[in-house]
Amino acid sequence: MNRNLSRLRTLFYFLLPLSIFLASCKSAKPFTDYKSQKSVIADKAVVSAAHPLATKVGLNIIKQGGNAVDAAVAVQLALAVVYPRAGNLGGGGFLVYRSGDGSEVNTLDFREKAPGAASRDMYLDNNKNVIESKSQKGHYASGVPGTVDGCYKMFQKYSKLKDWKKLVQPAIDLAKNGFAITESEANRLNVNRLEFIKSSTMPSALILKDSAMKWKTGDILRQPELAKTLERIRDNGREGFYAGKTADLIVAEMKRGNGLITKGDLANYAATWRKPLIGKYRGYDIITMPPPSSGGIALLQLLGTVEDYPLSNYGFHSPEAIHLFIEAERRAYADRAEHLGDADFYPVPVNGLTAKSYIVNRFKDFMPNRASKSDDIKAGEPHKESEQTTHLSIVDADGNAASVTTTLNDNYGCRTIVGGAGFLLNNEMDDFSVKPGVPNMYGAIGGEANAILANKRPLSSMTPTIVTKDGKLFMVVGTPGGTTIITSVFQVITNVIDFNMSATEATHAKRFHSQWKPDVVMVEKDAFSDLTVKKLKGMGHNITARPYIGLVETILVRPDGKLEGAADNRSDDSAEGF
Ligand code: DON
């Protein structure tokens, strides 16, 4: 008896801990063996996302029988771990979905909401001046996150695997075991260290304890607190984030940092299914995001404007084509500033703004050889009805397509890491017009339509888009980049349709951006020839350089039926398929 007991004791005190230790050693092997792939041709399925480890997670889910939405959920959660600057639990986003046979097209709005205690002048001082960075840094800048509810809702409606835990587990493994960080993540984490310390109240895996230390390429990032948060989400679904321990940690963080998000805000958050915006371009159907994104409306306006001009005759990046784009953009962004906001709170004239007759009429003052001045261009008068971001593009083996853009807004959002929960909060409140006419961090201005109100969603530019031709899937596309999102998606679509590029060429091609105000045209380095720049300047355009614009993920169905996946070559993005 005694001997048995002592055997049991040995088992309990020695063997059990040893086996746990050995098991944990085995599972603690960090993910180090990966590299990004910029282009792929595949027979069945493609995943293109901002980080190779997240791309692999998505592909594995499809290989296990999951569909595009299963993969999108798993990729999004993995990005929250391996791409902390934009992948997120504490942000929000949009899904545009199309089933393989086209019988189902839908969008999910999981954009953050203003907290219940938010109010119009919350970022102004007593003299009604904007308080610098209050809508951008720290607890007060954060909207109520939508990502987890969004992931759970899309899973409930469209999952084929019907196994939530399977979708969350890869993210947990990445957070727990750790992974080797890329050069760009190391650099950004170093640059933001002081911001994290200023805007957070507790230590975190993202903040090196010793200020003399620096993150280096290949360092292993383990995020045990984030792993625990993900485990709660794995075990309790949406409630694992919006209730219980995670909600407690968020609200405690808000209390320590004078933020506004309450238990009630979290409990009440609900992602919303919305009817997609569908328009035509040269015989293709463009399926895209309605408000609270401005992206879909502006994209349809831009395409609707340029389709009356012989773009392919003009040529890619010819002065004529560039000039046409800039003038179309000047008008679309003027409309955005005046008319666009959360349509649940403001009567956005969606049909009026996208009506072909309105678009054509609005472009009547276009001068083929002369730049107009943004100060002379006002918002149009459409018929009023009475009524640091990341993108992933996925096509699965049944041709279902998911185009998802999500964001914390700025890189690492408001830099506040929820103490004990290991994830960053967004600074999406800055996407509101904090004061009429005062530009946000993307230089965008707005007014009444996008003024702050409790529970309202800030206006977005995110433009996840799916293009079809003759009822068949043609293209899946989207990108981060603030207000440049719309013009990047616009250019990639025209690169393919008008300039006959492959997905890879269209995605990697240099880009430019203009948005009415400020009255400048931002151009990626070496995008235009000296002669083209000279001609554009001669027409009166203000040209400025910008390091890079957007991180686009594109999937194209080729004429032979194969899929071409492309990941942007401007950062760590990776496309894989099989
Ligand atoms: O919703 C929007 O339009 C912005 N919050 C997106 C921010 C973004 O793309 C930042 N990425 N570079």
pLDDT of the residue at 208: 92
Whether 13 has a pLDDT exceeding 80, the answer reads no
Asked, for residue 101, whether it belongs to a domain, the answer is yes
In testing the pocket of ligand 1, which one of 147, 462, 548 has its CB within 8 Å of the most ligand atoms? 462
Nearest atom in ligand 1 to 479's CA: 9
How far is residue 194's CA from residue 533's CA, in Å, rounded to a whole number? 39
Same domain, 137 and 208: yes
Contact 348, 315 (CB under 8 A): no
Asked, for residue 394, whether it belongs to a domain, the answer is no
Same domain, 239 and 331: no
pLDDT of the residue at 211: 84
Whether 279 has a pLDDT exceeding 60, the answer reads yes
At residue 1 the predicted structure's pLDDT band, cuts being 50, 70 and 90, is: very low
pLDDT of the residue at 112: 98
Contacts 24+ apart (CB under 8 A), 430-438: 430/135, 430/136, 430/141, 430/458, 431/458, 431/459, 431/460, 432/114, 432/135, 432/456, 432/458, 432/459, 433/459, 434/122, 434/123, 434/124, 434/130, 434/135, 435/121, 435/123, 435/124, 435/128, 435/130, 438/130
Q: H/E element holding 250?
A: helix 244-256
User: How far does residue 163's CA lie from ligand 1's centre (Å)?
Assistant: 31
User: How far does residue 531's CA lie from ligand 1's centre (Å)?
Assistant: 33
At residue 27 the predicted structure's pLDDT band, cuts being 50, 70 and 90, is: low
At 90, the amino acid letter reads G
pLDDT tens-digit readout, 229-246: 999 999 999 999 999 999
Asked, for residue 280, whether it belongs to a domain, the answer is yes
Q: What is the mean pLDDT of residues 464-485?
A: 98
Is 288 known to be catalytic?
Answer: no
Same domain, 290 and 321: yes
Residue whose CA lies nearest to ligand 1 atom number 5: 409
Residue whose CA lies nearest to ligand 1 atom number 6: 482
Q: Which residue has the higher pLDDT, 387 or 28?
A: 28
At residue 385 the predicted structure's pLDDT band, cuts being 50, 70 and 90, is: low
Residue whose CA lies nearest to ligand 1 atom number 10: 388
pLDDT of the residue at 386: 52
Residue whose CA lies nearest to ligand 1 atom number 2: 460
Domain interval for residue 178: 2-21+61-87+96-273+402-441
Any residues with CB less than 8 A from the CB of 108 and at least 6 apart, and which? 94, 95, 97, 150, 153, 154, 271, 272, 273, 274
Nearest atom in ligand 1 to 458's CA: 1
How far is residue 2's CA from residue 433's CA, in Å, rounded to a whole number? 75
Whether 394 has a pLDDT exceeding 70, the answer reads yes
What percent of the chain is modeled with pLDDT above 70?
95
Contact 306, 332 (CB under 8 A): no
Asked, for residue 42, whether it belongs to a domain, the answer is no
Q: What is the mean pLDDT of the chain?
A: 95
Sign of torsion over alpha carbons 161, 164, 165, 167:
positive
Q: Cite the DSSP H helix spans in 340-483.
A: 350-354, 356-362
Other Cβ atoms within 10 Å of 126 Cβ, number: 6
Closest CA to 84 of 54, 119, 118: 54
The single residue listed with the structure tokens 């007014």 is 447
Same domain, 381 and 319: yes
Same domain, 234 and 281: no
pLDDT of the residue at 406: 98
Asked, for residue 503, whether it belongs to a domain, the answer is yes
At residue 8 the predicted structure's pLDDT band, cuts being 50, 70 and 90, is: very low
Same domain, 106 and 189: yes
Instruction: Name which of 25-29, 411-415, 446-450, 474-478 the model is least confident about.
Output: 25-29
Residue whose CA lies nearest to ligand 1 atom number 8: 482
Asked, for residue 32, whether it belongs to a domain, the answer is no
Q: Which residues, judged by CB distance below 6 Å to any ligand atom, belong to the binding site of ligand 1?
A: 388-389, 407, 409, 428, 431, 460-462, 480-482, 485
pLDDT of the residue at 199: 98
At 179, the amino acid letter reads F
pLDDT of the residue at 529: 97
Same domain, 244 and 286: no
CA angle 477, 478, 479 (to 5 degrees): 145
Same domain, 436 and 502: no
pLDDT of the residue at 170: 98
pLDDT tens-digit readout, 87-138: 999 999 999 999 999 999 999 999 999 999 999 999 999 999 999 999 999 9
pLDDT of the residue at 9: 47
Asked, for residue 150, whether it belongs to a domain, the answer is yes
Which position among 246, 354, 389, 479 bears the catalytic label?
389
Same domain, 559 and 520: yes
Same domain, 269 and 280: no
Whether 507 has a pLDDT exceeding 60, the answer reads yes
In testing the pocket of ligand 1, which one of 136, 461, 513 has its CB within 8 Å of the most ligand atoms? 461
Domain count, the chain: 2
What percent of the chain is modeled with pLDDT above 90?
93
Q: How far is CA 326 from the centre of its chain?
A: 24
Asked, for residue 33, whether it belongs to a domain, the answer is no
At residue 18 the predicted structure's pLDDT band, cuts being 50, 70 and 90, is: very low
Whether 3 has a pLDDT exceeding 70, the answer reads no
Q: What is the mean pLDDT of residues 398-417?
A: 97
User: How far does residue 425's CA lie from ligand 1's centre (Å)?
Assistant: 14
Same domain, 266 and 291: no
Cβ-count burial 224-243 (b if 16+ within 10 Å, e if not): ebbbbbbbbbbebbbbbbbe
At residue 65 the predicted structure's pLDDT band, cuts being 50, 70 and 90, is: very high
User: How far does residue 307's CA lie from ligand 1's centre (Å)?
Assistant: 27
Whether 296 has a pLDDT exceeding 80, the answer reads yes
Return the CATH number at 500.
3.60.20.40
User: How far does residue 143's CA lie from ligand 1's centre (Å)?
Assistant: 14
Contact 296, 290 (CB under 8 A): yes
Same domain, 15 and 105: yes
